[in-house]
Amino acid sequence: MAPAFLKDFRRRSKASFRTDKTERSTDSSNGTINGSVPAAKSTSTLDSGSNTPPTLLHSSSASNLQVLGDKLGRPTIATAQNNRYSVSGMSGLGFPSPNIKSTLPTSQYAPRILSISENTWVYQKVLLIYGTVADPVTQALDGNLTVSRLDDGFPPTYWPVSESHFKALVYLSPGPNRLRFDFTSPKLANSNTSNPIHSSYMTLHMLPPLSAPPLQLVILLGKDSPGTFDAVPARIEKEGNDLESAIKKFRMAAYLWQAFTAEQMFRNKLGRRVFRMEEEWVSGTSNYRDRETGTMRSEAKIHVVRSSKTVSEIRDLDLAQQNPNAKRNGELFQIASEAVKDHFKPMPGQKQYVSVLLLDAHWDKTAKTITGHAALGGGGGDIQLAIFGSQALQSYPSSLEEVVPAFTDCTPTDTEYVANDCNESGSNWEAANIGIGAHLHETGHLFGCPHQESGVMLRDYVTFNRSFTTREPYSTRTKSKGGLVLQKDECGWHRLDCLRFRSHPCFRLPTDPPLNPDDTVQVWPVENSILVTAATGVSYLEIFTDDDELCHTWQEFGDGNGNGPVQRQVILTEQDLRNRLPEDKRKSRLKVIVKAFGGGSHEIADFALLASKASRTRLPGGQLAFRGSKLGMSQMEGSQAEEVIFHSTIEQTKLLVQVKVYHGFALDGIEFIYEDTTSQLFGKRGGTPGGSDFNLDTRRGEYITGFYVRAGFWIDGIQILTSLGRKSPIFGNAIGGSGHTLIPPRGYGVAGISGSCAAWVDGFSIIITR
């Protein structure tokens, strides 16, 4: 027979276990046991049919064993000295285990993180933070900040504190990251012991944005390349200049891009959104300990791609930025594009975003130029591409431990072996700025950013180091001795770049709501203004005058995330736009570029012309009609303007029953056929003999409500949209040009079409009326 106390044990309810555990865990007045935080309480219930106490399911700590021992009537196990077995406790008298928070009062010198708050969610692996120690105004302290994980999943990293300011990079893993920040200074007590007391704690959550397309990182080599890059002998001896070293350095540079961009987006109040990078499970390279122990991590993947060209063929292209007379400028970009396409083999419509490091770039000290290098970004079709040479790669950090040393290394550039790029890389830290920053500039072009009046897309990346250090060393570029650098001294992305990124598919977050698949923007002149419509919402306008090469004036609209509601229809007036310009530019011709949240864009080359009487026509009954903004360039040889006002719009008795579309590889013409067999032709009867028919269901009152148009230089294809929600096939080239949905704004209907035709249709717009 079982002992009596076991019967009593079986009769106890599950609730009693939870109750007793709670009572036991709160016996101490400060809620801790020997200065340790107790195990987290579980609020979950047991699985069906399970009789295992929750304490055994969730924890095997000494405190839980003590509770269970009391229930069984066994002697209580004393736990007062249980920390003597801790390995971390052996490192110094009284030194707490790194995974246990101290209950001592917070020191006034504990680091204060200013850039991010407790329990924030972020979306990248390496996070840039900044903060202060004490009050920098009254007590400027120098020292060191130690950043460590409570689970020791990543080794501690050390960052300088200058005049009570610090900046640091934190390596994050998916899920919760419990971090500890310790400040030490020779001016403060207890700094030289193994038990620092100036500590603060923070938990951050990282969620990889796997629903967004990645930025692919590629190292491109000639087919016979040895896989080395330019470096001085001392560097080669210390860290090597082979392909393995190049991969580590390029990966770290990409992490710096990511950390910098995420922080800039947050400062611009656009959320902590940033591009992601494809990752692979490899031996970790972001810290020294991983390399020594062979620890595996998910790190940014660097694709190594060999070109079909030899190293000498690549270098003979002589595309260095320092050589403005290069006759084959752009050819290296094409070579890189072809190699990348062959490597990734994108399917039609599967866009790839690729940033390429040209490893075979080489400093020719005789010709005093960099061969095999080009700084270009952009592209089209299925490949958006940025390329940049490896001439400054030796100066890049290869791990977090090397970031501050890399950006404070004043070693002069030895032009016997490496380039002083643009004469702005006179020292190692300045070379790192030019290499990492200028490559980021080209990656900005890859994401669609033009040059700007300031920021990375100008040339502010020469101060890229300031985002990661608190003190700048002597600069050979400015001949200045440097000093403390704070947030106001840093470079950044221009506001317009950040607005572009907000709408870019690579910057979408898992928390973003789904977008309407129609990403286009349409512009409609109406009675006294211009109506802009976008199914995904209007993001912002760029306003240019005649002599503007860069955008200096813009107007923003709400995004639904605390910056105002999303606006899918916006009214623009010429006077309002002119009032936004400086006084001396208000009489200039206005060019307006409208951007949508879905990424679509529409350019109004002459706003005044579009808003003028030239965009209006009067129907036979006296009613006004308006020509929408035109697609296509209308610049083919022999192009002639054409216009069709539907008979059914003018005469209510006329019934449109059929549309016949003439097409081949482009749109040749459209014929509108009525019930009385009369018709109207826009364009020509070319392409496939007889054209393609689309019939309207007149018994149900079906009529045309708009068109979906594929257009570029000319009109590639067209699809008819009806009031019953039906869509015709796309007649013509269904993947040519870019897609545009032409549906009149609220309160207006389709009255006809307008445009131009040469050998085929090269201009198209719809005419709307109330």
Mean residue pLDDT across the chain: 85
The type of residue at 413 is T
Map tokens 């180091």 to a residue: 465
Write the CA distances from 543 to 477, 578, 591, integer angstroms.
Answer: 35, 9, 6
pLDDT tens, position by position, 549-562 = 999 999 999 988 87
- Please give the pLDDT value at position 318: 53
Write the DSSP string, 408-445.
T--PBP-TTTS--GGG--SBHHHHHHHHHHHHHHHHHH
Mean pLDDT of 673-681: 93
Query: CA-CA distance, 72 to 576, in Å (whole number)?
Result: 81
Which domain CATH number covers 153? 2.60.40.10
- Please give the pLDDT value at position 89: 36
Reported confidence tier of residue 349, pLDDT bands at 50, 70, 90: confident
Residue 199 lies in a domain: yes
The answer on 418 and 371 residing in a single domain is: yes
If we measure between CA atoms, which residue out of 179, 165, 180, 169 comes closest to residue 131?
165
Residue 576 lies in a domain: yes
- Please give the pLDDT value at position 80: 39
The answer on 518 and 428 residing in a single domain is: no
Residue 667, helix vs strand vs coil: strand
Query: CA-CA distance, 57 to 68, in Å (whole number)?
Result: 13
- Spatial neighbors of 134 by CB under 8 A, at least 6 apart, are 108, 109, 141, 164
Q: From edge to edge, which strands make up the β-sheet containing 121-122?
A: 112-113, 126-132, 165-171, 157-162, 143-149, 175-184, 199-206, 121-122
- pLDDT of 58 strictly over 50: no
Reported confidence tier of residue 308, pLDDT bands at 50, 70, 90: very high
Query: 491-520 burial, b for 16+ CB within 10 Å, e for fewer?
Result: bbbbbbbbbbbbbbbbbbbeebeebeebbb
For 342-381, list the strands marked E by DSSP. 352-358, 362-364, 369-371, 376-380
Global confidence as pTM: 0.82
Residue 194 lies in a domain: yes
- Spatial neighbors of 558 by CB under 8 A, at least 6 apart, are 564, 565, 566, 567
Query: CA-CA distance, 598 to 437, in Å (whole number)?
Result: 28
Cβ–Cβ under 8 Å, residues 597 and 503: yes
The answer on 363 and 242 residing in a single domain is: yes
Angle at 550 between CA 500 and CA 590, to 5 degrees: 95
Reported confidence tier of residue 195, pLDDT bands at 50, 70, 90: low
Catalytic site residue from 263, 402, 430, 442: 442
User: For 272, what's the count of Cα atoms within 13 Å in the CB-facing half-sphere?
Assistant: 21
Residue 603 lies in a domain: yes
Residue 503 lies in a domain: no
Share of residues in the chain with pLDDT > 70 (%): 84
From 580, 611, 642, give the residue that closes a domain: 611
Residue 474 lies in a domain: no
Reported confidence tier of residue 166, pLDDT bands at 50, 70, 90: very high
Mean pLDDT of 357-369: 93
The answer on 537 and 434 residing in a single domain is: no
Q: Alpha helices, DSSP H only, in 240-376?
A: 243-267, 288-293, 311-316, 331-344
Reported confidence tier of residue 167, pLDDT bands at 50, 70, 90: very high
- pLDDT of 94 strictly over 60: no
Relative to beta strand 656-663, strand 667-674 is: antiparallel
Mean pLDDT of 200-214: 94
Specify the higher pLDDT residue, 629 or 656.
656
- pLDDT of 97 strictly over 50: no
Residue 122 lies in a domain: yes
Share of residues in the chain with pLDDT > 90 (%): 69
Reported confidence tier of residue 5, pLDDT bands at 50, 70, 90: very low
Write the CA distances from 122 to 170, 258, 299, integer angstroms.
Answer: 12, 12, 17
- Spatial neighbors of 765 by CB under 8 A, at least 6 apart, are 627, 628, 629, 630, 631, 742, 753, 754, 755
Reported confidence tier of residue 64, pLDDT bands at 50, 70, 90: very low
The answer on 344 and 249 residing in a single domain is: yes
- pLDDT of 625 strictly over 50: yes
Identity of the highest mean pLDDT range in 96-105, 329-338, 398-407, 502-511: 398-407
- Please give the pLDDT value at position 394: 97
Mean pLDDT of 584-595: 93
- Please give the pLDDT value at position 620: 82
The answer on 93 and 77 residing in a single domain is: no
The answer on 257 and 359 residing in a single domain is: yes
C-beta atoms surrounding 315 within 10 Å = 22
Residue 482 lies in a domain: no
Q: From edge to edge, which strands make up the β-sheet containing 302-306?
A: 302-306, 215-221, 352-358, 383-389, 376-380
pLDDT tens, position by position, 389-410 = 999 999 999 999 999 999 999 9
Which domain CATH number covers 593? 2.60.40
Q: For this structure, is 442 an active site residue?
A: yes
Torsion angle defined by CA atoms of residues 22, 27, 30 and 36, in that order, rounded to the nearest 10 degrees: -70
Mean pLDDT of 287-313: 95
- Please give the pLDDT value at position 55: 36
- Please give the pLDDT value at position 520: 87
* Angle of helix 428-446 versus helix 243-267 axis, rounded to 10: 70
Residue 620, helix vs strand vs coil: coil
Mean pLDDT of 657-675: 95
Residue 572, helix vs strand vs coil: strand
Indicate the number of domains in the chain: 5
The answer on 563 and 548 residing in a single domain is: yes
Reported confidence tier of residue 283, pLDDT bands at 50, 70, 90: very high
From 206, 233, 250, give the residue that closes a domain: 206
Mean pLDDT of 361-371: 92
The answer on 452 and 352 residing in a single domain is: yes
Specify the higher pLDDT residue, 438 or 85.
438
The answer on 277 and 419 residing in a single domain is: yes
Mean pLDDT of 706-710: 95
* Angle of helix 4-11 versus helix 62-72 axis, rounded to 10: 120
Mean pLDDT of 172-188: 94
Structural domain of residue 281, as residue ranges?
A: 215-466
- Please give the pLDDT value at position 561: 81
pLDDT tens, position by position, 724-748 = 999 999 999 998 888 899 999 888 9
If we measure between CA atoms, which residue out of 310, 313, 286 comes closest to residue 297?
286
From 31, 58, 84, give the residue that closes a domain: 84
Specify the higher pLDDT residue, 43 or 302.
302
- Please give the pLDDT value at position 621: 79
The answer on 314 and 200 residing in a single domain is: no
- Please give the pLDDT value at position 194: 64
Reported confidence tier of residue 193, pLDDT bands at 50, 70, 90: low
The answer on 80 and 101 residing in a single domain is: no
Which domain CATH number covers 700? 2.100.10.30
